[in-house]
Structure 1
Amino acid sequence: MRTTITLTADADALVRRVMRERGLSFRDAVNFAIIAGLAPVDRSAAVETPTFDLGRARLPLDRAIALAAELEDEQLLRKREQGK
């Protein structure tokens, strides 16, 4: 299929750089850029986050969220008393 497009100077420079780096024709470089930019992202290739064993908890974590909320409340009250 033949289509006429007008590229900005920046887009033209990027396409020409891809042409040089990969030894592609103008048409192939434009097609590569369009496919790379518009193709659906493969979500199955998820990023793997490294994990580490930190050992057993030294404190019981049953109430960790409740404790964090209490500490936050205390901090907010202190700030209010100081007029912040």
Structure 2
Amino acid sequence: MRFPLVQRYDLRVQTTITLTAAAEHAVRTLMADRGLSFEEAINAAILESENLAPFETPVHRLGESRVSLDRALAIADELADESIAS
């Protein structure tokens, strides 16, 4: 009896990441709370982030502008130049 050749691939990928102090603290807290290894905590955090609600910014109607915005960038440049010169 012959069995077909089955190929297995190890999907583990090793890489180096740099965490901010806040991110490391969050991972270490997750490790302590759930009894996870560092690797398991990183994977859990990544997978849980997929379930977050999308970030939305409220939009407010500001009405008509009180000044002409045709030259807004030019005026901003002039004001910046004046502040540098003073």
TM-score, normalization: structure 2?
0.46
Structure that is richer in helix per residue: 1
TM-score (structure 1 length as normaliser): 0.47
